[in-house]
Structure 1
Amino acid sequence: MLTHFPRVPFLTVETPAVRLLQRSTKKIQSILRLLWGDPRFLMMSWLARFIAIREWVAQRGDYLPPAVFDATVIHEVEGACPLESPGQVAKLIQANGYYVGFSLQPSILKELLTFAETTPCYANRNPSLPFYINNKDQMAQELGTPLLVAGYLDNHESCDAYQSIKHDPYLLAVASQYLNHPAVYLRGELAWGFPAPNTLADKVKTARVYHCDINDFKTIKFFFYLTDVGEGEGPHVYMKGTHRTRKFGHQRIGQGCAAIADEDLVQTYGRDRVQVVTGAAGLGFVGDPYCLHKGTVPVDNSRLLLQLEFGIIPYRIWYF
């Protein structure tokens, strides 16, 4: 159980000195929380922002892939090339930061959709605001504001289809070969994104600005669209290759890259690196979340997204 340190009440007068005090206080609280929760995570959060250290930790692994494996819930995308081997996928992620090219079996997709329709989700990921997705408009009316997102918190762990994906030998082989360590499951999420007006603060809070995630020295994250996603349904976007070619100043601030305007990052790394992932329900893709990426705001229809993250070390704590 994590200990929550008391928050220091902030002064209401907004001056540069007060803002500095507020930032410093929040930073100290965050460090104390991480130090108390798991000192290893605190150390990792300082070191894993640097590419050289990330790669050094991965190179120290000695993972040996199995001679034979079966893909139980994954198959190739219809009309695309045959399913790549886990080793080939790992090499493509190492080169580009992401890979798109597999899909869920129809039976698994159907089971996940049924789960999403028959299990309460939570408005804006607030555990005190449960509702069924068919009652979304009613929930928004009760709140008096449009819903931005709705997540199932940890309820997805009770879904058999999710467990099949989580333990799929093909996905585990891809993850392990990319990490060069036996992949450790960290966490996952099933969540809706809704068409709604978003402020910049909303976008930052819901990961709809370019950012990177640093949850271990190296991690890998699988995504699956459970609804059709075109340009108007909030597609995922990668900035190709930025997991290996990050400017040192951007490495130093780590997840603070989320505070840099999207357009500034595009100008820095090149518009040709921006890769938008669209596709039919069931489409799967995978990436290194250290690679700059973002979700986008749906403007036409809602999007249901499943994600799973694997790393090297199991920690007792997260950033939030």
Structure 2
Amino acid sequence: MQAILRLLRGDPRFLVMSWLARFIAVREWVANRGSYTPPATVGQGVIQATAGARFLDSSGQVAKLIKAHGYYVGFSLQSSILQDLRTFAETMPCYANRDPTLPFYVKNKVQFEQELGAPLLVAGYLDSHETCDAYQKLKTDPYLLDVASQYLNHSAVYMRGELAWGFPAPNTLAERVSTARVYHCDINDFKTIKFFFYLTDVGEGEGPHAYIKGSHRHRQFGHQWIGQGCAAIDDDILVELYGRDRVHVVTGPAGLGFAGDPYCLHKGSVPDQQPRLLLQLEYGIYPYRIWYF
């Protein structure tokens, strides 16, 4: 009840959306009512092809693949943007467990943990990344905006972003649920798209992201009904139900970018070797005064 009251006070439209957008038919109906027309050419921004790729897929092709699979992996940050974002993360305070009363510099993490008396699982920069010029260039990148707009079939509206560390640390199921380290879906609009960038190298031991392919379009009705409550279902149950062969674990070097519909079942895992620094940006159809993420 408290959550409902918070949403009602924050933005009644968001409350209505949060109930309706859990259903695939409603999501697709709202998207189909759009009328976005892509530009003839997309300007040069800060996104490039991944190392070894012959070319960068067109924004239309990326949007088409996300519609089919729920996600896309295959672009990267220009090296100067990657370096600027890393420098920002290393020289600005982050906040333990995303708590604004617990600031520290990542270089002092070990000392901070000793003072705190507990290991850290996550640390975010709250909204301070909005002051970073490199982030602003990425946020307004014409390629990303066109991918988002073509996928949503509406001119994309920037919602929010986050820069955050994930650290190797002992953890409980409750902590994994609260930090999105179990399979779940996000519902922040009738349809949204999130872009992710690894700012550190991410292998199997650094907390890679994973998607269950196609689960944004094919979902048991009961799972649609509970919406974000899918996070309470054991990962193995969801994987067996929707297909172990549909699980795609995203690993790659610093700078790797990927995009997905956050309604598609996905998760980030807890690093067990090295910390992971992840940047994410979300775009939707309508602006709201409140959101879950």
Q: Where on the TM-score scale, by shorter chain, does this alignment land: which range?
A: over 0.9
Match of 1:111 among 84, 93, 101: 84
**In the TM superposition, what are the counterparts of 1:147-226 in structure 2 within 5 Å?**
147-226=120-199
Are 2:277 and 1:307 equivalent residues in the alignment? Answer: no
Are 2:247 and 1:271 equivalent residues in the alignment? Answer: no
TM-score (norm 2): 0.99
Are 2:116 and 1:143 equivalent residues in the alignment? Answer: yes
Match of 1:48 among 21, 27, 31: 21
2:39 matched to which residue of 1? 66
CA distance in 1 between partners of 2:66 and 2:54 (Å): 17
CA distance in 2 between partners of 1:136 and 1:235 (Å): 21
Are 2:292 and 1:319 equivalent residues in the alignment? Answer: yes
Match of 2:233 among 249, 260, 274: 260
Q: Percent identity?
A: 77
TM-score (norm 1): 0.91
Match of 2:269 among 296, 301, 307: 296
C-alpha displacement of 1:68: 1.4
CA distance in 1 between partners of 2:8 and 2:169 (Å): 38
Q: Which runs of 5+ in 2 are unaligned?
A: none
SS of corresponding position for 1:66: coil
C-alpha displacement of 1:29: 1.5
CA distance in 1 between partners of 2:4 and 2:204 (Å): 39
Q: Which is further off, 70-79 or 99-108?
A: 70-79
Are 2:48 and 1:75 equivalent residues in the alignment? Answer: yes
C-alpha displacement of 1:80: 2.2
2:63 matched to which residue of 1? 90
1:283 matched to which residue of 2? 256
SS of corresponding position for 2:63: helix
CA distance in 2 between partners of 1:65 and 1:106 (Å): 27
Q: C-alpha offsets along residues 232-289 of structure 1, whole Å, 9 cap, x if unaligned?
A: 0000000000000011000000000000000010111010011000000000000000
For the aligned residues, what is the CA RMSD? Answer: 0.7
Q: Which amino acid aligns with 2:82?
A: L
CA distance in 1 between partners of 2:89 and 2:10 (Å): 32
- Taking structure 1 as reference, are residues 81 and 293 closer, same or farther at Cα in structure 2, changes over 3 Å only? farther
Match of 1:100 among 47, 66, 73: 73
Q: C-alpha offsets along residues 65-124 of structure 1, whole Å, 9 cap, x if unaligned?
A: 011112310000011241111110000000000000000000000000000011000011
Q: Which amino acid aligns with 2:62?
A: V
C-alpha displacement of 1:36: 1.7
1:37 matched to which residue of 2? 10
Aligned length: 293
Q: Which runs of 5+ in 1 are unaligned?
A: 1-27
Q: C-alpha offsets along residues 204-250 of structure 1, whole Å, 9 cap, x if unaligned?
A: 01000000000000000000000000000000000000000011000
SS of corresponding position for 1:232: coil
Q: C-alpha offsets along residues 128-180 of structure 1, whole Å, 9 cap, x if unaligned?
A: 00001100001111111100000000000000000000000000000000000
Runs of 4+ in structure 1 deviating by more than 3 angstroms, as ranges, are none
